[in-house]
Copies of this chain bind each other. A is one copy, B any other.
Amino acid sequence: MALIVQKFGGTSVGDADRIRAVADHVARTKAAGNDVVVVVSAMGKFTDDLIRLADDVSPTRPPRELDMLLTAGERISMALVSMALGACGVEAASFTGSQAGIITDTDHTRAKILEIRPDRIREAVDAGLVPVVAGFQGVSTERDITTLGRGGSDVTAVALAAALKADVCEIYTDVTGVFSADPRVVVNARRIPKVSFDEMMEISATGGRVLMLRSVEFARRHGVPLHVRSSFTWEPGTWIVEEDPTMEEAVVSAVTDDTSEAKITVGGVPDRPGVAAHLFRQLADRGINIDMIVQNISAKGITDISFTVAKTDLVAASETCDKVKDEIGATEVTSDDNIGRVSIIGAGMKSNPGVTALMFETLSENGINIEMISTSSIRISCVMRAEKVADAVRYLHTAFGLDAA
């Protein structure tokens, strides 16, 4: 008998029909002899509706009140799922984040979990009930209601699975798993049956939309096996697990793409210690997250520093660089929001030196110019013109033998 945490996203509980389908599935899992803990998101676009209402009543969004508002969404879906389970003959009880013991810091709208005190959930499971827990929400050390930010319901599910020592955390969504490339870009992309935490973190970090990096990191840290699967077809999806040393590693598992970033180049920078540190400290102090950083080889003691930021941070980042320019003796700041990044990810890359060469050749043969390169031991990312991204993904998917037969 296993303990399974099943998390259902917004589309999975989007209307009464979907909620009844979810309840049926939970009932089947329970009938198969498992203990089940359910975590739910708000229904479909309900959160968006609430944000629109908030914008209608106030030009600002006070974070404490925004959290109070948005947490109504999971409250509705969890009560409905519990009722639907009751209708399937499964005794269920819903729990808010607070009741489930999700204790967070006081950073409203993007709180971090400090501690899980799952006593009530554990008691409910022991009593044979299916607890249905509100995702995305917790209660702060100041007894205020908090939300966990984007991807927060997945974090709730993984954190509860870790605290309860669950055998698996199943993340149900509207796709059948993690794919070798975005199926909207590559028609014959394949579902990946099994992927390591390390690979999944690279996939999430470079444009894979199925799981947020944060929940994969959390799962890896606590050794919680994840199973990403569809709440529409219920077929087995993608397992995300510890790397298994006995299994043969795919050279390349996935090709990802991301056109949500822009590039800033600070040119004519004196190549001396502390310059980059000063620049990135200023950016960090404004809360701007930097993704790739590339510094060209210094010529005559002068270098260029290029980096990527989310397009939404481009204005703030450019302003900051303009201010810092004179302090660090740079000559110019340019920005470019027409870029895209394509990455290949594979744990087998480490032992296959030809991978980089094949990637560059493939792009080059198809007339795609590489503007920035960054690598990790299991990933290679290339920045290019945004309009080349879809083609690049398709060529690489074929070149690395990922196309479905």
Dominant secondary structure at the A interface: helix
In the complex, whether A372 has a CB less than 8 A from a CB of chain B is: no
A60 to B87 Cα, complex, angstroms: 7
A86 to B57 Cα, complex, angstroms: 10
Contacting pair A76 B61 (CB below 8 A): no
In the complex, whether A54 has a CB less than 8 A from a CB of chain B is: yes
Task: State which of B57, B60, B72, B81 has its C-beta within 8 Å of the C-beta of A72.
Answer: B72
A96 to B98 Cα, complex, angstroms: 12
Shortest CB-to-CB span from A97 to chain B, Å, is: 12
A350 to B133 Cα, complex, angstroms: 58
Closest B residue to A78 by CB, please name it: B68
In the complex, whether A242 has a CB less than 8 A from a CB of chain B is: no
Contacting pair A69 B80 (CB below 8 A): yes
Chain B residues lying within 8 Å of A86, measured Cβ to Cβ, are 58, 60, 62, 65
Chain B residues lying within 8 Å of A59, measured Cβ to Cβ, are 87
Task: State which of B16, B58, B79 has its C-beta within 8 Å of the C-beta of A69.
Answer: B79
Chain B residues lying within 8 Å of A60, measured Cβ to Cβ, are 83, 86-87
Task: State which of B57, B71, B76, B82 has its C-beta within 8 Å of the C-beta of A20.
Answer: B57
Chain B residues lying within 8 Å of A65, measured Cβ to Cβ, are 79-80, 82-83, 86, 92-94
Closest B residue to A19 by CB, please name it: B57
In the complex, whether A75 has a CB less than 8 A from a CB of chain B is: yes
30 inter-chain pairs at a CB distance below 8 angstroms, sorted by A residue, are: A16-B56, A19-B57, A23-B57, A57-B81, A57-B83, A57-B87, A58-B80, A60-B83, A60-B86, A61-B83, A62-B82, A62-B83, A62-B86, A64-B94, A65-B92, A65-B93, A65-B94, A66-B83, A68-B75, A68-B79, A68-B96, A69-B75, A69-B76, A69-B79, A69-B80, A71-B75, A72-B73, A72-B75, A72-B76, A75-B75
Given A53-B16, A64-B93, A93-B64: A58 and B87 interface contact (C-beta under 8 Å): yes
Chain B residues lying within 8 Å of A80, measured Cβ to Cβ, are 53-54, 57-58, 65, 69
Contacting pair A94 B68 (CB below 8 A): yes
Shortest CB-to-CB span from A200 to chain B, Å, is: 33
